[in-house]
Amino acid sequence: MTRRIFCGNLNFNTTAQSLGQLFESVGVVQNATIVSRFNKSLGYGFVEMASDTEAQYAASALNGQELDGRVLIVELAHSAEERKDLKKERRMLGMTASAINRRKRDAFKRHAGKNAPQSPIRVYMGNLPDRIEERHLLEAFKDMAVTEVMIAKKPGGKPMGHAFVSFLTHEDQLKALAMNGYLIIGKNLVTIEPAKVPGIF
């Protein structure tokens, strides 16, 4: 069990104070934080409750609740083992463009055809502009329950032009897929397609 709770799909104007006040309605809050970059919210945060029991209750009671006009995604934070798996996936996304493309080509050869396994909640986005940030993707999918955004970057930190976005439900994934060709940052027509299930490439 864990006392730490993940809160996603936050309004970019939501503060740690207002997030903490919401959770105080269901238990004792030890700490509330908003994850930000360059002083701008990334649309998610964490709340630490006083006990495992309170954390579990809060996650159940507040998931789907509205705060500052956004429907929250509230769940218990990942365990150490789950975080290790996520770090492994992020390291994969930090590889050079040539290595990524090689793996994609190999994966296509291994899993080509109509029966290729696809994730029911995750999408692959291509043709993203060089200055893409997580907040741009969260804004594009603001009407859907986004659980994770992973932008592939070169070792120096520059975006590689593609990303993966995960949603809470398959219905939200279908809505995202319907946005194929979406114009982002007023410039690029984005390619959106179902992602392979984790571990395929």
Same domain, 66 and 109: no
Q: What is the pLDDT of residue 49?
A: 94
Same domain, 109 and 63: no
pLDDT tens for each residue of 173-193 = 999 999 988 888 876 688 899
Residue 129 lies in a domain: yes
Residue 85 lies in a domain: no
pLDDT tens for each residue of 132-171 = 999 999 999 999 999 999 898 888 888 888 999 999 888 8
Residue 84 lies in a domain: no
Identify the domain boundary among 43, 77, 111.
77
Identify the domain boundary among 26, 46, 77.
77
Q: What is the pLDDT of residue 23?
A: 95
In angstroms, the CA 64 to CA 28 distance is 20
Task: Please tell me the number of Cα atoms within 13 Å of 169 on its side-chain side.
Answer: 8
Nearest of 22, 74, 26, 24 to residue 46 by alpha carbon: 74
Same domain, 99 and 192: yes
Q: Pairing between strand 40-49 and 29-37?
A: antiparallel
pLDDT exceeds 70 at position 131: yes
Residue 28 lies in a domain: yes
Same domain, 31 and 111: no
Same domain, 73 and 98: no
Q: What is the pTM of this model?
A: 0.44
Same domain, 73 and 101: no
Same domain, 57 and 101: no
In angstroms, the CA 150 to CA 167 distance is 12
Domain residue limits at 72:
4-77
pLDDT exceeds 50 at position 200: no
Residue 13 lies in a domain: yes
Same domain, 99 and 57: no
Q: Give the confidence band of 62 by pLDDT, cuts at 50, 70, 90.
A: very high
Residue 102 one-letter amino acid: R
Same domain, 104 and 187: yes
User: In the chain, what percentage of residues exceed pLDDT 90?
Assistant: 37
Same domain, 112 and 180: yes
- 3-state per-residue secondary structure call for the chain: CCCEEEEECCCCCCCHHHHHHHHHCCCCEEEEEEEEECCEEEEEEEEEECCHHHHHHHHHHHCCCEECCEECEEEECCCHHHHHHHHHHHHHHCCCHHHHHHHHHHHHHHHCCCCCCEEEEEEEEECCCCCCCHHHHHHHCCCCCEEEEEEEECCCCCEEEEEEEEECCHHHHHHHHCCCCCEECCCEECEEEEEECCCCC
Token pair, residue 138, equals 């969260």
Total domain count for the chain? 2
Same domain, 73 and 142: no
Token pair, residue 170, equals 């398959």
CATH number at residue 50: 3.30.70.330
Identify the domain boundary among 42, 77, 112.
77
